[in-house]
Structure 1
Amino acid sequence: MSLSRRQFLAASATVASAGFGVAIDPIKRSGAKPDLKLALAAYSMRQFLDLKKPTMTLFEFIDLAADLPLDAVELTSYYWAETTDAYAEKLKAHATKKKLAISGVPVGNNFCVRDEAKYKLEIQKVKDWVVRAAKVGATTVRIFAGGLDKGDTLESAQQRVVAAINECCEVAEKHGVLLALENHGGITDTPEHLLDLVKPVKSKALGVNIDTGNFRTTDPYADIAKIAPYGVVSQVKTEVYPDGKVQDADLARVVKILKDANFHGFVALEYEGKDDPKVAVPKHVKELRKLISG
């Protein structure tokens, strides 16, 4: 049975005050002040969690996060050792025991593919992970759009992506989960291209994942600000890439952009820097905690 709008927003606790309707408009947030909750993305520990040769489990990742000043963990789908209901229930119980919410379950998908069979598989993948995300109590599933296939046109790819998102949103609504489309290069390389995919989707289950390190534009900070009003979750990186050239991110500026947009939701550190994440992550988490609380 489909959830009512009221039930849906209640289930999505971190965005319950957002009150957003169709995705064509920026999210109208009823809270007088921004409400940023700090999470850690499992992707930050990817070299340890890689299922080809893991030296850390998601349970151990949760243990690591519990020793930091965090509100939640983001459990990237790539590192789930199993996709069973029992495994999902164990993850949820372990996070609860450690007093951490599960902010989201990022998925890797490509809705631009032209092959019909592959396209349907990509849609089904997202639908399946929406169900798993709901089982662990996550409020968001991060999704990608993808990149153009050879010989394809931007318009055709955009149509396929919007159709796929609409189909997946039906499942997300039923399960009280938000789909969060990320600015992840490909046909989401600019704010305008990202919003070309978001605005036509008239579902209360779609928002944007604001990835602060993925714009390779002249002014990534200005472009982050353009998509922030549509954000339901954010992944904060410690680098930015103006015109493709790496710089240390001004995290204070990033947090200010989110606060200025009256952002309500989880802000997940997604560390991709060159230093040992077991050393760098605690430092950046503490910095973000101070900035968010200030």
Structure 2
Amino acid sequence: MAHQQPSRRLFVKAVAAAMPMMTAGGIESAGRAVAAPQAGGPLRLSCNLYSFNEPLMSGQMTLQEVLAFCSAVGFDAVDPTGYYFPGYPAVPDTSYLYEIKRRAFRLGLDISGTGVRNDFTLADPAKRKADIGLVKQWVDVSARLGAPVLRIFSGKGVPAGHTRETVTGWLVDALGECVDYSAKQGIILVLQNHADFIETADQLLDILQHVKSDWLAVNLDIGSFRIGDPYAQIARVAPLAATWQIKEKLFVDGNEVDTDLDRIARLVRASGYKGYLPIETLGKGDPRQKVPAFYNRVKKAMFPT
């Protein structure tokens, strides 16, 4: 099937970001070599509502209540995953979607994106086809919500009896069909690295270069590069990011550590990124306390006075 060719400028930036940089002490990773932030703005903070997964799924908070909370904290936008709409994975009534859209607008919030859970690495072709259908349905939801991006996954991994090369072919074909559809709706599909089939920057870049569409980009999940130096991998794919997930923790050589938010801020600026930076808090604790605290930390790093 035909896909749009990526702009030369886009991939030149990606290749440049992927190259090691020379410093006075020798070759250093791209993440460490970024010293002076470049002018990149505007940047705005969004809340990925997976931060409120427990109260939303248990009924302790409604989606409308979470929107009001995020507005009070000071977020510019929210990113409500499809799981939190009634009846998911079925598409909600249009009247409900418009009510959420109206409510967000009245609270001063944009909807920076939404997302679904799909698996394009399933061995059963019928199941992969069903998940292609799911993504297309939620492309339509994104358009009605006014969400410019739809977050999607690659899949869980390589099924027994198959090779990575074969599964990559399944994934590329599925993404191509979905992107052909999303482009007609004006929605960018953003592929999330999630420590599953996609574990490294190389794997993520390889898939994007196979699909070759301006309507497929990266949802850069900083907490899901768990092999080697995450900062170097973040630097490599940052020029292709259309949205992010900024998390409290990331993994350095497989060990979970606190995120160096100042360093992430430098990488964001150096990539020239413009747009929303959704934050996501995970783990134990009340999100009504964790989210404002992390918001303030990210804001301080991204917008130093």
**TM-score (norm: length of structure 2):** 0.85
Residue 70 of structure 2: aligned partner: 65
Q: Residues 113-128 of structure 1 correspond to what in structure 2 (within 5 A)? A: 113-128=122-137
Which secondary structure does the structure 2 equivalent of 1:200 belong to?
helix
Which secondary structure does the structure 2 equivalent of 1:181 belong to?
strand
Aligned-pair CA distance for 1:125: 0.6
Indicate the larger mover: 243-252 or 224-233: 243-252
Indicate yes or no: 2:257 matched with 1:244: no
Identity %: 35
Indicate the larger mover: 267-276 or 141-150: 267-276
Q: Contact between 2:168 and 2:207, CA under 8 Å: does it hold in 1? A: yes
Q: Contact between 1:217 and 1:244, CA under 8 Å: does it hold in 2? A: yes
Residue 103 of structure 1: aligned partner: 112
Q: In 2 relative to 1, CA 232–192 (structure 1 residues): closer, same or farther, beyond 3 Å?
A: same
- How many angstroms apart in 1 are the aligned matches of 2:9 and 2:178? 14
Which secondary structure does the structure 2 equivalent of 1:267 belong to?
strand
Residue 208 of structure 1: aligned partner: 218
Letter in 1 for 2:137: D
Partner of residue 93 from structure 1, selected from 97, 102, 107: 102
Partner of residue 51 from structure 2, selected from 24, 27, 44: 44
Letter in 2 for 1:61: V
Letter in 1 for 2:218: V
- How many angstroms apart in 2 are the aligned matches of 1:149 and 1:288? 38
- How many angstroms apart in 2 are the aligned matches of 1:80 and 1:48? 14
Aligned-pair CA distance for 1:185: 1.5
Residue 139 of structure 1: aligned partner: 148
Question: Structure 2 unaligned runs (5+)?
Answer: 15-37
Aligned-pair CA distance for 1:37: 1.4
Letter in 1 for 2:80: L
- How many angstroms apart in 2 are the aligned matches of 1:107 and 1:26? 30
Letter in 1 for 2:82: S
Q: Residues 29-40 of structure 1 correspond to what in structure 2 (within 5 A)? A: 33-40=40-47
Partner of residue 190 from structure 1, selected from 187, 194, 200: 200
Q: How many residues align?
A: 272
- How many angstroms apart in 1 are the aligned matches of 2:121 and 2:225? 19
Q: In 2 relative to 1, CA 26–105 (structure 1 residues): closer, same or farther, beyond 3 Å?
A: farther
Q: Contact between 1:74 and 1:102, CA under 8 Å: does it hold in 2? A: yes
- How many angstroms apart in 2 are the aligned matches of 1:62 and 1:112? 34
RMSD over aligned Cα atoms:
1.9
Letter in 2 for 1:277: P
**TM-score (norm: length of structure 1):** 0.88
Deviations 1:160-196 (A, max 9, x none): 1111111111121111111000111222100001111
Residue 10 of structure 1: aligned partner: none
- How many angstroms apart in 2 are the aligned matches of 1:277 and 1:32? 32
Letter in 2 for 1:71: D
Larger Rg: 2
